[in-house]
Structure 1
């Protein structure tokens, strides 16, 4: 037990501090458990069993099924309808956003749902002048709550179902079996309605207005003091060199955004262009670096230099129409492969033919030394790029272009097919004709056969970090059970809970799990907490299913931090939120749901 507890504590510390990606940490846990088999009881077969787990395979399948829905553009179509129909009332906007986000998240992965909500909310905000901050956080919260409508709503539900079934089988507990498709839908509806009512009533007062809609993008990202125009003098050392030669060797924070020559503007790719006398350079740099550049490199201020959105966008008259440049906000999704790299190490400029002007990380805007900053999920990049580059960002699921709601590449004509496939997967599993994992695999075949998802897109659709996270953590749950660690923890809790009503203990398990999940992976939370909760329930003479369900719901509703759930992270940058904004809005909701979920479980299943 001491060895297993040590592994758990080290793993939790690493999950919180993230010196490595959490999926890599999870695989490290798997390796450690197997190497220390005499103490953990986890042999090599058990160690890799997570890769063959029904939970892991089902989650993998759901990623691909969700991609099939995304490819048809169904959510975009609904979003555009909402943006068009409810643009005149903030109440109607909020209600429609919550309904779409919460209602769809029960049947497809909530990450693509929120990915579509971001540009949809941006369009609504552009039409009405209402800050997107007022809608983005509620959309994320609703998607989290909607995930509790069905067992396939989140990967956490699927993992919890697998853990409960395994414990029930190993311990011979008849009341513990895999969750059916709509096992807890009635409780999920209660939780969703409670959350929606809270967000409608309290949201307008608690959710802050961080993004001001009367600002242009250059003003919104505070670019005025960082963008300027300079003229290259005839005696400048830059003359005759390429842009890459001029700027790659400079030991200062400066980037060229545009080169203007004879009233024609040139943008990416700029590296090979030769600089000539009298060229005008649009630079992104700070004041001190600018003064050094002007003094050392023979540059001077351009007459009437003022850089605005219109200068950087394609509709400025003096910009060459062939460049077709745009200013857009690009959000990095939580599973993007560029996370952890810097703009310099991933060669962002050369790779995407796009210039990053600023980074917004929550409420903080970063201008200085951007090339040295490690990118994070949820970062919002202010990017200047050509139209074809913007389209590539739109088509890449690892980015969200906040200004584009309906890209033209969706297969709208396949919406009935994709919806029918999802309905068949859900229906076959619901009536128990097939297990969920098998009906989901059949759904993959149908999605590919009908062309909703192309074969090569299947692998890109899967968030492999989640798959490896699940595979690495499942053996940890087994070790907790087999070593007696879960029983020891449960005994300690039961001794502490003497003379306390089991309903109160149930509520405490919910609250503790919810708080822990705000700093840990939600999947890690269910792996650690479900075995303990079940054992505690048995020792209290309570219903183990009720305790397992409380942990499951709590692990999918972490509202207190932007890192508690991936949808929170996705709206962190676009909403301009601060870290504390989540606690301000989420803490009352967390307490309300502790009471509602606990009483709902007691009323439906008993304790």
Structure 2
């Protein structure tokens, strides 16, 4: 037993330290349990065949398909349009919609999906986005409490009950608890976010990343100071040559953003000017108008050496449609992209980003903290947290939003934020997801939950909701899967060596005399405290058997105790590092660690107090 507790303590220490990946720490603990002969190889590896682990794999695939087909984004954006410009209404809708989506898919994916929509809606309502982003992250965790599959700790306590011979919880057994969590969160966060988050950067709005208008983005990055129009004349040296042949970027350090050409359609109601995004294979023709971004001396040199006509000194700003004076954003738009900490672009030069080749977009500028890099950017190496100003067709910008693990598209102009490009597979994904939920909800459908999830995952691939099988595998967070599979046998080791019984006896002897309510409160806040340092899944795996033994030792129902474990493990808000959603919104909302303490700590404590009294009412002792 001492060896098991030492291994557990060391694991917790390394989890808190964070210098070694959590899945590697879990695997090392698992190997030590085998080497020390505490668990047999079969017992130690049983976690990898556990239905929870297999179900989690399937849910990652299903959730990935929902995102890739645009289904979740379609639902959330339509509902968010109901808010108009009311700050309170928008706040409540964001919380409710996020919680609803988080009930069925991963909270990390939910936040990655909702973040650009929320930023755009906030800017459209003239409200600082920081008011909403932290509540957005918290709402995704609260929503996860509403269903069996919403958060991994729910599956963990379900497994603990089944293994102990108790009736399993149904798909919606958690729903009353989830609703109380969301309601409590909304009531508490309305004043807390107003006091601590609403005034953040109010006096310096131009530094807030968000869904700005084209004019605002042009002013922010000083595009109008460096944007010029050149006409290709009959004797120009660039006629009938491609941009790749001319190598303008390398030779002159200029970027051709757009090419306008007279359209062959001459009808009164037809488009008379075509806008084309400049690409390496674009061939220049006589009378083409080139919109060129760069320093004026370079522009003059380029025009002189290639016999081009400089039609005016500057282009004013971005416009909503074709214009002789302004760069169009009707077909070709601009947006801001926030680089994620694990992006493959970190420490790569702009010229090696592959944005133009892979996505058909140009990088025009970089915002790094409070500085703007606008010249010679092709040699600049990108850093975590950089905000890139990109330009491309709206379809290309929409494709960028599919790579949410690499970056988050923040700056689509507000006119385009509500125009969500829907993939034709979205109805198929909706049908499959509905079938999966029905199979898990209704007992008369003779399909086990794990089988329903696997069938849904396979159907998502076979019906083309992913481009290929590799894309489906990429949606799986293998670190989480290995962590769960490796930590599940730890609870078996604790039970096998008597450590669970010892801890539960200490809890019972210390708090049991004060009644089940006090004992449950002790378990809840112990779980809540551990989750601030260890992942919520690992905490649930460790505490669930202790809670079960404690309940049985004083002769009461284990259900409220195990529900206290899953709620305590999931409702952790006081640290940006306690859950992935908290960390995901930190850069976009420009939050500090103390912002999470000021807003998250009171919410976490109040949520715990409410749950201690609510859980026995929903699941009596």
Where on the TM-score scale, by shorter chain, does this alignment land: which range? 0.7 to 0.9
Q: 1:389 to 1:595 in 2, by over 3 A?
A: same
* Residue 196 (structure 2) pairs with residue 196 (structure 1): no
Aligned to 1:162: 159
The residue correspondences of 1:527-542 to structure 2 (distance < 5 A) are: 527-542=541-556
Alignment match of 1:330 (pick from 321, 324, 338): 338
Q: How does 1:165-184 map to 2 (within 5 A)?
A: 165-166=162-163, 168=164, 174-175=165-166, 177-184=167-174
Q: In structure 1, the residue corresponding to 2:513 is in which secondary structure? A: coil
| Aligned equivalent of 1:50 | 47
Q: Provide the rounded CA distance (Å) in 2 between the counterparts of 1:243 and 1:127.
A: 38
| Conserved 8 A contact 1:509-1:550 | yes
How does 1:301-380 map onto structure 2 within 5 Å?
326-330=334-338, 332=340, 339=342, 343-344=346-347, 349-352=352-355, 375=384, 379=385
> 1:72, 1:415 within 8 Å by CA — same for their partners in 2?
yes
Partner of 2:229: none
> Cα gap change, 1:499/1:277 in structure 2, threshold over 3 Å: closer, same or farther?
closer
State the match for 1:32 in structure 2: 32
> 1:242-296 deviations in whole A, cap 9, x for unaligned?
99999xxxxxxxxx996699x99x9999xxxxx9995389xxxxxxxxxxxxxxx
| SS of match in other structure, 1:533 | helix
Q: Which runs of 5+ in 2 are unaligned?
A: 210-215, 227-246, 261-276, 281-293, 301-313, 357-361, 374-378
- 2:345–2:353 Cα contact (<8 Å) kept: no
2:123 equivalent to 1:126: yes
**Corresponding position: 1:482 with 2:472:** no
The Cα of 1:197 is off from its aligned counterpart by: 2.4
Number of residue pairs matched by the alignment: 537
How big is the shift at 1:102?
Answer: 1.3
Equivalent residues in 2 for 1:15-414, closer than 5 Å: 15-34=15-34, 36-38=35-37, 41-166=38-163, 168=164, 174-175=165-166, 177-212=167-202, 214-215=205-206, 279=298, 326-330=334-338, 332=340, 339=342, 343-344=346-347, 349-352=352-355, 375=384, 379=385, 381-384=387-390, 386-387=392-393, 390-398=397-405, 399-402=407-410, 403=412, 406-408=419-421, 410-411=423-424, 412-414=426-428
How far off its partner does 1:100 sit? 0.7
The 1:178/1:397 distance shift into structure 2, 3 A limit, reads farther
**Inter-partner Cα distance in structure 2 for 1:160 and 1:542:** 17
Counterpart CA distance in 1 for 2:364 and 2:584 is 19
Hey, what's the Cα distance between the residues in 2 that align with 1:540 and 1:357?
65
Q: Following the alignment from structure 1 to structure 2, what is the Cα–Cα distance between the partners of residues 276 and 78?
A: 44
**CA, structure 1 residues 441+488, in 2 after alignment: closer, same or farther (shift >3 Å)?**
same
Structure 1 residues 315, 96: CA separation in 2 closer, same or farther (over 3 Å shift)? farther
- Verify the 8 A CA contact 1:514 1:554 in the aligned structure 2: yes
Question: Could you tell which deviates more after superposition, 205-214 or 150-159?
Answer: 205-214
What is the match of residue 440 of structure 2? Answer: 426
Tell me by how many angstroms 1:473 deviates. Answer: 1.2
Question: Distance between the aligned counterparts of 1:391 and 1:373, measured in 2?
Answer: 22
**Distance change in 2, residues 1:106/1:258 (3 Å):** same
Are 2:365 and 2:372, in contact at CA under 8 Å, matched by a contact in 1? yes
**Deviations 1:473-532 (CA, angstroms, capped at 9, x unpaired):** 112222222122222222232333263332112112112211221222111111221122
Q: What is the deviation of 1:433?
A: 2.9
In 2: Cα distance, 1:28 partner to 1:432 partner: 41
| Alignment-derived partner of residue 287 in structure 1 | none
CA drift of 1:423 comes to 3.5
Of residues 393-402 and 576-585 in structure 1, the stretch that sits farther from structure 2 once superposed is 393-402
What's the offset of the Cα at 1:5? 1.7
Task: Tell me if the contact between 2:512 and 2:554 (Cα under 8 Å) persists in the aligned partners.
Answer: no
Residue number in structure 1 paired with 2:7: 7
1:544-565 alpha-carbon deviations (Å, 9 max, x no partner):
3321221111111111111111
Q: 1:464 aligns with which of 456, 459, 478?
A: 478
| Bigger Rg, which one | 2
Partners of 2:372 and 2:48 in 1: how far apart?
Answer: 42
1:439 counterpart = 2:463: no
Partner SS, residue 146 of structure 2: coil
Q: TM-score, normalised by structure 1?
A: 0.75
Distance 2:423 2:127 in 1: 28
Unaligned runs of 5+ in 1: 169-173, 230-241, 247-255, 270-274, 282-305, 333-337
Secondary structure at 2:589 match in 1: coil
Contact residue 107 and residue 153 of structure 1 kept, 8 A: yes
RMSD across aligned positions (CA): 4.4
In the alignment, the residues of structure 1 paired with residue 532 and residue 421 of structure 2 have an alpha-carbon distance, to the nearest angstrom, of 37
1 CA distance for matches of 2:253 and 2:131? 32
Work out whether residues 338 and 386 of structure 2, in 8 Å CA contact, stay in contact via their aligned partners in 1.
yes
Cα separation, partners in 2 of 1:92 and 1:10, compared to 1, 3 Å: same
* Match in the other structure for 2:616: 602
